[in-house]
């Protein structure tokens, strides 16, 4: 018999192909792993190391202490390290409990919350002119005029171009003075955009290529309160958003599973169409 076209969904990632049937087969063959590996993968994660940027109130940064490095007694090479890091630094997830009592902690956020259609909204020109720029509901509506309605279950990320400033703390944060939260300047989401995405589009999560989903000068952290209050996570300090399209890619963002955590280090990738 002739083959039939099919689409298999993994999370929200569609894998398409063709299944061949014959009279002796009662079920179609499963899709091949090559359906995924043939796609281009973009790493959206900054490496953790001595230059990793943390919120100014965190003075420790990322520490990697060598436990053993060298030739073991059995004559083979062996390395092991101990690491120490705050939850909210580098590429990481803000769990809903971060700004909303009673919401899921890091370990309780469903895996599916970090897997979905990637919607990239480019505000880099506006952010270059105004480091305190806030992505607005109008920016989202303009995106929809060009690319169609933001799908339910999407993960909407702001591309500001700020990742090009990493790891220069002064350029990236607006200040490199330890403990200084009064002079932070970087773009983020605006309140109207956050409410639009939660109330009108039922998105899974939002993300930014800056240090916070709220803009740097925020004092009320209203975007965190809206997004986390709706039980949604936020993904911060994403990298390489300049290499992903406005639509068509799938985001896979998997954080470290920390019991009772308010966030945690994240490995995020984009699977391109």
Those residues whose C-beta lies under 8 Å from the C-beta of residue 162, and which sit 6 or more positions away, are 127, 172, 186, 187, 209, 210
Identify which has the larger pLDDT, 224 or 23.
224
Instruction: Specify whether 90 is located in the same domain as 115.
Output: yes
Evaluate whether residue 73 is within a structural domain. no
Q: Of 190, 104, 117, nearest to 156 (Cα)?
A: 117
Q: Which two tokens stand for residue 1?
A: 């018999």
Interval 171-184: pLDDT, tens: 999 999 999 999 99
Instruction: Specify whether 244 is located in the same domain as 198.
Output: yes
Q: Could you tell me which residues are beta bridge partners of residue 235?
A: 93, 207
Distance CA 101, CA 99 (A): 7
State the pTM of this model.
0.87
| 198: pLDDT strictly greater than 80 | yes
Q: Which band of pLDDT confidence, cut at 50, 70 and 90, is reported for residue 38? A: confident
Residue count of the chain, please give it. Answer: 273
Instruction: Specify whether 21 is located in the same domain as 117.
Output: no
Instruction: Specify whether 34 is located in the same domain as 96.
Output: no
Distance CA 92, CA 192 (A): 24
Evaluate whether residue 152 is within a structural domain. yes
CA 78 to chain centre: 33
Q: Name the percent of the chain lying above pLDDT 70.
A: 86
Instruction: Specify whether 195 is located in the same domain as 266.
Output: yes
Evaluate whether residue 264 is within a structural domain. yes
Instruction: Specify whether 153 is located in the same domain as 226.
Output: yes
Report how many domains make up the chain.
2
Instruction: Specify whether 96 is located in the same domain as 26.
Output: no
Average pLDDT over the chain, rounded to whole? 90
Instruction: Specify whether 28 is located in the same domain as 99.
Output: no
pLDDT, residue 23, reads 32
> Is the sign of the CA dihedral 91, 219, 98, 192 positive or negative?
negative
Instruction: Specify whether 52 is located in the same domain as 158.
Output: yes
Evaluate whether residue 69 is within a structural domain. no
Q: Which band of pLDDT confidence, cut at 50, 70 and 90, is reported for residue 6? A: very low
Question: What mean pLDDT is predicted for residues 140-167?
Answer: 98
C-alpha distances in Å from residue 36, one per residue of 17, 74, 121, 135, 155: 11, 40, 25, 32, 20
Q: Which band of pLDDT confidence, cut at 50, 70 and 90, is reported for residue 273? A: confident
Instruction: Specify whether 151 is located in the same domain as 189.
Output: yes
The residue segments making up the domain with residue 123 are 43-60+86-271
CA 209 to chain centre: 9
Instruction: Specify whether 102 is located in the same domain as 160.
Output: yes
Evaluate whether residue 81 is within a structural domain. no
Evaluate whether residue 14 is within a structural domain. yes
Burial string for 131-154 (b: 16+ CB within 10 Å, else e) reads bebbbbbebbeebeeeeeebeebb
Cβ–Cβ under 8 Å, residues 236 and 212: yes
| 10: pLDDT strictly greater than 70 | no
Q: Of 158, 143, 142, nearest to 215 (Cα)?
A: 158
Distance CA 252, CA 254 (A): 6
Give the domain CATH number at 203: 3.50.30.50
Evaluate whether residue 70 is within a structural domain. no
Q: Name the percent of the chain lying above pLDDT 90.
A: 85
| 81: pLDDT strictly greater than 90 | yes
Interval 107-134: pLDDT, tens: 999 999 999 999 999 999 999 999 999 9
Instruction: Specify whether 104 is located in the same domain as 223.
Output: yes
For 18, list phi and psi in degrees, rounded to 5. -135, 135
pLDDT, residue 59, reads 86
| 251: pLDDT strictly greater than 60 | yes
Evaluate whether residue 176 is within a structural domain. yes
Question: What mean pLDDT is predicted for residues 238-243?
Answer: 98
pLDDT, residue 241, reads 98
Question: What mean pLDDT is predicted for residues 238-260?
Answer: 98
């Amino acid at each position: 018999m002739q083959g039939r076209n099919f689409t298999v969904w993994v999370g929200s990632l569609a894998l398409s192909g063709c299944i061949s049937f014959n009279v002796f087969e009662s079920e179609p063959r499963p899709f091949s792993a090559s359906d995924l590996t043939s796609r281009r993968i973009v790493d959206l994660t900054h490496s953790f190391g001595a230059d990793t940027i943390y919120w100014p109130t965190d003075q420790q940064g990322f520490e990697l202490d060598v436990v053993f490095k060298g030739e073991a007694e059995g004559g083979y090479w062996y390395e092991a390290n101990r690491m120490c890091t705050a939850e909210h630094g580098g590429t990481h997830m803000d769990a809903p409990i971060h700004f909303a009592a009673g919401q899921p902690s890091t370990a309780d956020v469903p895996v599916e919350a970090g897997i979905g259609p990637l919607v990239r909204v480019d505000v880099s020109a506006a952010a270059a002119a105004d480091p305190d720029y806030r992505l607005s509901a109008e920016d989202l509506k303009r995106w929809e005029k060009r690319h169609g309605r933001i799908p339910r279950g999407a993960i909407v990320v702001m591309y500001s171009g700020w990742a090009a400033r990493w790891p220069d703390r002064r350029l990236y944060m607006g200040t490199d003075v330890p403990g200084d939260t009064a002079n932070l300047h970087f773009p983020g989401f605006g309140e109207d955009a956050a409410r639009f995405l939660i109330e009108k589009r039922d998105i899974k999560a939002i993300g930014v290529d800056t240090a916070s989903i709220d803009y740097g000068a925020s004092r009320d952290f209203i975007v965190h309160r809206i997004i986390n209050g709706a039980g949604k996570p936020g993904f911060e300090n994403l990298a390489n958003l300049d290499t992903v399209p406005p639509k068509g890619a799938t985001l896979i963002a998997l954080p470290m599973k920390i019991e009772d955590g308010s966030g945690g280090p994240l490995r995020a990738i984009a699977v391109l169409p």
